[in-house]
Amino acid sequence: MLTIKNLHAEVDGKKILKGINLEIRKGEMHAIMGPNGSGKSSLSSVLAGRENYTVTEGEVIFEGKNLLDLSPEDRAREGLFLAFQYPVEIPGVSNLHFLKTALNEIRTYHNLPPLESKEFLKLTKEKQQLVDFNANLMNRSLNEGFSGGEKKRNEVFQLAMLDPKLAILDETDSGLDIDALRIVAAGVNKLRNADKAFMVITHYQRLLEYIVPDFVHVLYNGQIVKTGTKELALELEEKGYDWLKEEVHQKESV
C-alpha cells in the first residue's frame, strides 16, 4: 500500500529526514516511536503534504501512485488521512458542514454523486456512535472550545467518516487522560480491518497497550534505526532510548 524509499526531507534548510525506508501493507498496524526531535511528526507532515517541507531525495509510492506529486487534498482523496497532533480550531465552520464538504469533495474526485442530506446524517450518526463521539459537538464550530480530549476524539470521528485506506495518527495519545485514551483507542480498534492500514506515531508505549501494533519502528536522527514487534515497545519503555542511541553511535564509529 505504502512504500517509502530513501526519503530525505528538510525544513528551512535543516535536514530532518535522512533516508527513511518503510513498507506498509494493507491490514497492518505500524507504530513509529522515538525520542523527541527524531523526525516522527516530520514524517507524517511530509506524507500528508505540509508545504514547508522540501523533499530532497527518495520516493513514496501510495497505492501505485507517486504520493509526492499530489497536492494535500489529492492525497486525502486517494485515501490518506492524518490525525493531527494539534487539531486546528476554525470558528465559524461547523463540524458537520466541514465533514460534508470533505466527504463530497472526495466523492466528486471518485466520480460519485454527493451524498443526500439524509444519507449523510445517517452515516454521521452511525460513525458517531461507533467511535463514541459526543453528538453535541457536531453542530459546534470545528474544534472551537473543544477540550484536548474532544479534539483528538474528533480526529478519530473524522477518520471514521472519511474512511481512508491509510491513517496516520500523529501523537494522538499525547496529553490524553486514561479515559480519553481508552475511548480513542477503542475507536481506532473498531476501525481496523483487513483493507485498512495504520501508522501510529507515539512517544509513549502506553498507547500500544490498547492499540496493539504488528510492527514497531524506532526513528532516531531522521532514520529508522530499529524495527521489531510489540515487544520492542516494551523494551523501550523499560530501558528508554539511550541504549539505542549508543548502539547507533557505536555503529557509526565502526
Partner 1 sequence: MTSDKSFYEFISNGVPGPEQKVDADNAIMPARKLAFSRFKELGLPTVKTEEWRYTNIQRFLKDAFTLAQEEQGAVTAEQLSNAGIPQLDSYRAVLVNGRLQANLSTLPSGGKITVSKISDAAGNTQLQAWFDKHPHLQSQPFAALNAALFADGLFIEAGVNAALDKPIHIIHVYTASANAFIQPRHLVLLHKSATLEIIESAIGLNDAAITFVNGVTEVVLEENAELWHYNIQSTIKNSRHIYHTSATQKADSRYHHFNFTLPSAELTRNNLSVALTGSNTETNLHGLYLATGSQHVDNHTFVDHLVANCNSNELYKGVLLDDANGVFTGKIHVHQDAQKTNAFQQNNNLLMSEKANINSQPQLEIYADDVKCSHGFTVGRFSEESLFYLRSRGIGEEAAKSLLVNAFAFDITDQVHIPALQDFLADKIRQYVAGAINN
Q: Name the segment binding partner 1 (CB under 8 A); options: 99-107, 113-121, 221-229, 246-254.
A: 99-107
CB of residue 145 to partner 1, shortest distance in Å: 15
Residues 6+ apart with CB under 8 A from 138: 95, 96, 124, 128
Choice from 25, 56, 57, 90 touching partner 1 (CB under 8 A): 90
Picking from 8, 3, 17, 32, the residue whose alpha carbon sits closest to that of residue 227 is 32
Q: Name which of 23 and 63 has its Cβ closer to partner 1.
A: 63
Q: How many other C-beta atoms can be found within 10 angstroms of the C-beta atom of residue 175?
A: 15
How far apart (Å, rounded) are the C-alpha atoms in residues 67 and 46? 10
What Å distances lie between residue 140 and 94, 132, 137, CA to CA?
Answer: 5, 17, 5
CB of residue 46 to partner 1, shortest distance in Å: 12
Choice from 68, 70, 102, 138 touching partner 1 (CB under 8 A): 102
CB of residue 212 to partner 1, shortest distance in Å: 27
Choice from 70, 98, 130, 228 touching partner 1 (CB under 8 A): 98
CB of residue 128 to partner 1, shortest distance in Å: 17
Size of the site for partner 1 (CB under 8 A): 30
How far apart (Å, rounded) are the C-alpha atoms in residues 201 and 45? 12
Choice from 106, 167, 185, 216 touching partner 1 (CB under 8 A): 106
How far apart (Å, rounded) are the C-alpha atoms in residues 217 and 148? 27
Binding to partner 1, residues 124-143 (CB under 8 A): 141
**195: which 3 cell numbers?**
483493507
77 interacts with partner 1 by CB under 8 A: yes
Choice from 158, 172, 202, 221 touching partner 1 (CB under 8 A): 158
Q: Name which of 115 and 234 has its Cβ closer to partner 1.
A: 115
DSSP 37: T
Choice from 39, 49, 213, 222 touching partner 1 (CB under 8 A): 49
50 interacts with partner 1 by CB under 8 A: yes
Is 100:161 a contact under the CB 8 Å cutoff?
Answer: no
CB of residue 218 to partner 1, shortest distance in Å: 26
160 interacts with partner 1 by CB under 8 A: no
How far apart (Å, rounded) are the C-alpha atoms in residues 48 and 24? 16
By the criterion CB under 8 A, which residues form the site for partner 1? 48-51, 71-73, 75-77, 81-82, 84, 87-88, 90-93, 97-98, 101-103, 105-106, 109, 141, 158, 162
